[in-house]
Amino acid sequence: MTAILGISAFYHDSASCLIIDGEIISAVQEERWTRKKHDPEFPKNAIQSCLKIGGISPKNLDLVAFYDKPFIKFERLLNTYLTFAPKGLQSFVQGMPLWLKRKLWIKELILNELSGYKGKIIFPEHHYSHAASCFYPSPFEEAGFLTMDGVGEWTTTSFGIGQGRSLKIIGEIKFPHSLGLLYSAFTYFCGFRVNSGEYKLMGLAPYGEPRYVDLIKRELVDIKEDGSFRLNVNYFNYLVGLTMTNKKFARLFGGG
């Protein structure tokens, strides 16, 4: 028997997944236990649930995987803060304590929570985790994949090929150019919570009219012939601030 435990935590919707002999036995979000919507905390309840459903204890696990590489993500944050300093000081001061106390010590935290586990802990790249979650459970032996989100370590969009048990990323787009962050920017601008209200914007979209398509393409997103893109970061605040958009963005869409 080969048992693998997957863990995501400290961003949004913390969760755990247990795979035994290549089969998904259980996948649980922490919010289902704590009743805190989008709970980002370490998913200890979800982990306990997965292990219970699988009928095993931590000592029976062969491998534990955390969903991304915290040190590379931390490198991106430091690089961004240093590039735009002294802008972003408030965001830096607010965010660093959590990183220094918890996010840089994931391995130690996992070992403390999984009493009895003595095996290996791996940290795959964020977008490889996305690709794996869609390709490996699929019925295909070979397939192309496309992953798009806010941001992982540096990557925001990737594409590649899955073959058998291997995944290969062929190309990628990196932070700060991100369609996920663009969508979150509009979520924020419309008054909803980022990493929470995006689904509301999706639900409202079919009832709207595409009045701003040309404006968005002209001012916010430069779409290349090959399908890649770049954002005009002059309209956004997520690089240095605690908000997604700035006054220039608001003026573009008739705001104050």
pLDDT digits (tens, 9 = 90+) for 235-254: 999 998 889 999 999 999 98
What would the pLDDT profile of 145-181 be if each residue is shown by its tens digit?
Answer: 999 999 999 999 999 999 999 999 999 999 999 999 9
* Higher local confidence (pLDDT), 33 or 93: 33
Alpha helices in the chain (DSSP H): 31-34, 44-54, 70-84, 89-101, 106-113, 126-135, 179-189, 198-204, 213-215, 247-252
The band of 94, judged by pLDDT with boundaries at 50, 70 and 90, is confident
The answer to whether 73 and 39 have CB atoms below 8 angstroms apart is: no
Kindly tell me if the per-residue pLDDT of 256 is higher than 80.
no
Quick check: 194 pLDDT over 80? yes
Can you give the pTM of this predicted structure?
A: 0.91
Give yes or no for a contact between 77 and 54, defined as CB atoms under 8 angstroms apart.
no
| pLDDT for 255 beyond 80 | no
Select from 3, 31, 32, 8 the least CA-distant residue to 18. Answer: 3
CATH 3.30.360.10, domain 3-69+102-124, yes or no? no
Integer Cα distance of 209 and 222 in angstroms: 22
Q: Which residue ranges does the chain devote to CATH 3.30.420.40?
A: 3-69+102-124
DSSP state of 176: T
Q: What is the pLDDT of residue 144?
A: 98
- Mean pLDDT confidence for 220-241: 95
Amino acid (one-letter) located at 38: H
d(CA 25, CA 22): 9
Q: What's the pLDDT score for residue 59?
A: 95
pLDDT in tens, 117-133: 999 999 999 999 999 99
